[in-house]
Amino acid sequence: MSGDRARGPEAPATTRDPEAPATTTPTHCVYCALQCGTLLHRSGTDVEVEPSPDFPVNRGGLCQKGWTAPAVLNTPDRLRTPLIRGADGELAPASWDDALDLVVERLERVRETYGPDGVGVFGGGGLTNEKAYALGKFARIALGTSQIDYNGRFCMSSAAAAGNAAFGLDRGLPFPVTDLGEADVVMLAGANPAETMPPLMRHLVRPRLIVIDPRRTRTAEQAALHLQPAPGTDLALALGLFHIAVAGKHLDEEYLDTRTTGFEEAWRCALPWWPERVEQVTGVPVEDQERAVRMLAGADRRYLLSGRGVEQHSKGTDTTAAFINLALALGMPGREGSGYGCLTGQGNGQGGREHGQKADQLPGYRMITDPAARAHVAGVWGVDPDSLPGPGRSAYELLDALGTPDGPRALLVFGSNPVVSAPNAGHIARRLASLDLLVVADMVPSETTELADVVLPIAQWAEEEGTMTSLEGRVLRRRAALTPPPGVRTDLEVLHGLAVRLGQPAERFPTAPRPVFDELRRASSGGRADYAGITYERLDAGEALYWPCPESPDGDHPGTPRLFLDRFAHPDGRARLAAVEHRDAAELPDSDYPLHATTGRVLAQYQSGAQTRRVPALMAAAPEAHVEIHPGTAARYGLAEGGLAKVTSAHGSTIARVRLARTLRTDTVFLPFHFPGAGRANLLTGAALDPTSRMPEYKVCAVRIEPWRELTA
């Protein structure tokens, strides 16, 4: 272990020089998967941001979060030293050697008692490609555990499952974002980019928008047509739109005959969903259903984009597949000027799921159960393929199993805050608290670090090098504008320090991102997400490289900005329509819980809010948990604008400030999920999972609502 007493030969310096000359560093935003181009201007220890004027995705624009991103770098409560929980129950500062030694000592104790799967690892969709890759490698080699998954399971898993089944390949947008700007019509199913990724709206000025959302969101306000289904009924609506496309003779029959299979089976499932039945189930008027199909079918250049609203359900894979069926019936995917895509949410939600931190995958989007995939990756790693564990539990199932007799007794968390972000959050917090060891690597205190036995301070986005993969499959360079503060290490350094203490060769876990990426390239070579032809040199030279980008003899493969133009990724080159049946949500309103609740984001906050809640300007815009409710519904339950309400489901209760929203459905309330403590929206959401993707049902649960002031008077 003595070989890791220093930070390692590849570690950067960890001091910030207030007298350093001013510099400008081109990089990308810390937040969503648009990965907007930014310029970081450093003067001493101060950093300011401005949008990159020539990056095509944001075209000189940023949202509130992007403009204020540097504020988190010097937040007063920034974690700057490891913390260890003492006998008194309090977290106290410790040295890096003491912290890492303690972690490994207790990990070894757990592994000796419970075996390798006694330890779990939980990653994040905001980690760079290098960190996501290293985390999966660390779990499977240094720990030998199958128990690894990440919070991206809560974001993109349904779309990934449906996309792989339909097209043979999952990439959020199989075309560049800029293609949308030339469209005539864009259908947004369960997506609200005006609040979740505002710069995308610069590409949606020309198209007429069809928005499918239970709420009258900022995006819906800009739509030519807004379809407002009851929460949990999107699948019925998608089947109905497919029915209208067939009955109204809007099909592209030549495309269906030459480029797809499965139409007859899909049509049999949609046949019973005539428009009047769909209206009865969803509340969407027949004339709006028919107009939506006519608009989409009648446009020359058209796109269908899905988002979390149709995916975060216990039937999210089937719902996404039903919208893909509609796009295929109209002949859209795999054509220039038309297509289907999914709006990836987290900053590296795309790359994060491609390189090994998912329970069932190895780098390159290879499945861990595939003997050839195991042999290839094991060869790159220099280990026996038989030594690699098999698939583990999905994200919620992993968290739910913590501390149980056959579940992990120790957990390492990188880049996630599951106390706020996980469904059934009260239960998950209790599972985390039951562990023998909880280790959290983070840059700021969070609701999850509050439960940790060891907290490890890590570098932030503006202090590290690496790559990210945007929602359009474009690999981008993240560049460091300044060095981390003294006492702070990068995730790669943390993994290196733990791996060496666990007996791994130091060279197996580099601390610098470039050699990690070069190894990632080899590990992904030949896989569905092939990065072998992408190098730091090409990215630094300004090349726009979209995967798949295999290695070529001359090293100049151009990448693949537009997928499927010639063929889909299945062996026969055809896309598959899916035979999917509507089913109800896991929880329906009843006499005890008479309302639907749905959750989502607001413009000024991001994910669990651990970063954005530290930015004064963002907190001024969105300071606390709130619940949107129709005025008529509010009056029925004795609620008034600005008052406090208690919202209760079968899983727990949350307290939120009342906001009246006349455009909301009268049977529905909406809560953002960014807030901590008693304001956690995910105290309400349940444990129902999609049988294929293992996606939790975030978007609908049954609740009741009542004034909070009356209960506490």
Report the percentage of the chain scoring pLDDT > 70.
97
- Contact present, 673 and 135 (Cβ < 8 Å): no
Mean pLDDT taken over the chain: 95
Q: Is the full-model pTM beyond 0.75?
A: yes
Domain CATH number, residue 91: 3.40.50.740
Regarding whether 445 and 310 lie in a shared domain, the answer is: no
Cα 562 from Cα 372, distance rounded (Å):
28
Q: What is the pLDDT of residues 486-508, one digit of tens each?
A: 999 999 999 999 999 999 999 99
Is 544 part of any domain?
no
> Hey, what are 537's tokens?
């040199």
Is 539 part of any domain?
no
pLDDT of residue 344: 85
> Cis link prior to 116 (omega < 30° from 0)?
no
* Higher local confidence (pLDDT), 369 or 10: 369
Regarding whether 217 and 123 lie in a shared domain, the answer is: no
DSSP 139: I
Is 301 part of any domain?
yes
Cα 214 from Cα 207, distance rounded (Å):
21
> Hey, what are 640's tokens?
């008034």
Domains: count for the chain: 4
Cα 653 from Cα 593, distance rounded (Å):
12
Regarding whether 90 and 49 lie in a shared domain, the answer is: no
Helices marked H in 92-218: 96-114, 129-137, 157-167, 193-196
Residues 637, 639, 644: CA angle, nearest 5 degrees: 125
Domain CATH number, residue 292: 3.40.228.10
Regarding whether 136 and 277 lie in a shared domain, the answer is: no
- Contact present, 545 and 129 (Cβ < 8 Å): no
DSSP 342: E
* Last-in-domain residue among 51, 72, 93: 72
Q: What is the pLDDT of residues 50-80, one digit of tens each?
A: 999 999 999 999 999 999 999 999 899 999 9
Q: Residue 398: is its pLDDT beyond 90?
A: yes
Phi, psi of 707 (to 5 degrees): -65, 135
Is 588 part of any domain?
no
* Last-in-domain residue among 47, 72, 97: 72
Cα 127 from Cα 490, distance rounded (Å):
11
Residues 311, 312, 313: CA angle, nearest 5 degrees: 95
Counting every residue written for the chain, the total comes to 713
Is 456 part of any domain?
yes
* Residue 18 pLDDT level (bands cut at 50, 70, 90): low
143 CB contacts (<8 Å, ≥6 apart)? 107, 111, 116, 119, 121, 502
**CA nearest neighbour of 36 among 7, 3, 66:** 66
Q: Residue 481: is its pLDDT beyond 60?
A: yes
Cα 548 from Cα 559, distance rounded (Å):
6
Regarding whether 117 and 20 lie in a shared domain, the answer is: no
Convert 466-484 into a string of H (helix), E (strand) and C (coil): EEEECCCCEEEEECCCCCC
> Hey, what are 161's tokens?
């499952």
Q: What is the pLDDT of residues 259-306, one digit of tens each?
A: 999 999 999 999 999 999 999 999 999 999 999 999 999 999 999 999
| Amino acid at the residue 254 | E
Regarding whether 491 and 375 lie in a shared domain, the answer is: yes
Is 563 part of any domain?
no
Buried b (16+ CB within 10 A) or exposed e, 524-556: bbbbbbbbbbbbeebbeeeeebbbbbbbeeeee
> Hey, what are 518's tokens?
């070069």
Cα 615 from Cα 578, distance rounded (Å):
45
Packing angle, helices 234-247 and 286-298, rounded to 10: 60
Handedness of CA 201, 202, 207, 208 (dihedral sign): positive
pLDDT of residue 45: 76
* Residue 371 pLDDT level (bands cut at 50, 70, 90): very high
pLDDT of residue 8: 36
CA separation, residue 570 to residues 145, 260, 335, 650 (Å):
31, 10, 17, 43
Cα 48 from Cα 68, distance rounded (Å):
9
Regarding whether 424 and 296 lie in a shared domain, the answer is: no
Phi, psi of 546 (to 5 degrees): -110, 135
pLDDT of residue 19: 63
Domain CATH number, residue 668: 2.40.40.20
- Cβ neighbours of 108 (radius 10 Å): 14
Helices marked H in 141-221: 157-167, 193-196
Cα 30 from Cα 443, distance rounded (Å):
13
Helices marked H in 413-504: 418-421, 425-433, 491-501
Regarding whether 17 and 93 lie in a shared domain, the answer is: no
| Amino acid at the residue 33 | A
356: containing domain: 83-151+348-464+484-527
pLDDT of residue 21: 75
Regarding whether 102 and 12 lie in a shared domain, the answer is: no
Which helix or strand (DSSP H or E) is residue 710 part of? Answer: helix 708-712
* Residue 22 pLDDT level (bands cut at 50, 70, 90): confident
Helices marked H in 115-233: 129-137, 157-167, 193-196
- Contact present, 347 and 126 (Cβ < 8 Å): yes
Domain CATH number, residue 34: 3.30.200.210
Is 185 part of any domain?
yes
Cα 478 from Cα 466, distance rounded (Å):
5
Please name every residue paired with 411 in a beta bridge, in sequence order, or none if there are none. Answer: 120, 438
- Which stretches does DSSP call E strand in 213-256? 225-227
> Hey, what are 577's tokens?
């329509």
Regarding whether 137 and 228 lie in a shared domain, the answer is: no
> Hey, what are 705's tokens?
């609502």
- Contact present, 436 and 408 (Cβ < 8 Å): no
272 CB contacts (<8 Å, ≥6 apart)? none
Q: How far apart are the first and last CA of the chain?
A: 59
Is 571 part of any domain?
no
> Hey, what are 347's tokens?
């900053």
* Residue 183 pLDDT level (bands cut at 50, 70, 90): very high
Regarding whether 367 and 303 lie in a shared domain, the answer is: no
Q: Say how many CA atoms lie within 13 Å of 338 toward its Cβ.
A: 20
Cα 54 from Cα 199, distance rounded (Å):
14
What's the rounded mean pLDDT across residues 131-155?
Answer: 97
Cα 671 from Cα 650, distance rounded (Å):
16
Cα 357 from Cα 152, distance rounded (Å):
9
- Cβ neighbours of 617 (radius 10 Å): 13
* Residue 642 pLDDT level (bands cut at 50, 70, 90): very high
* Last-in-domain residue among 307, 342, 377: 342
pLDDT of residue 713: 40
Regarding whether 107 and 47 lie in a shared domain, the answer is: no
Cα 669 from Cα 627, distance rounded (Å):
7
Q: What is the largest CA-CA distance in the chain?
A: 75
What's the rounded mean pLDDT across residues 445-453?
Answer: 98
Cα 498 from Cα 489, distance rounded (Å):
13
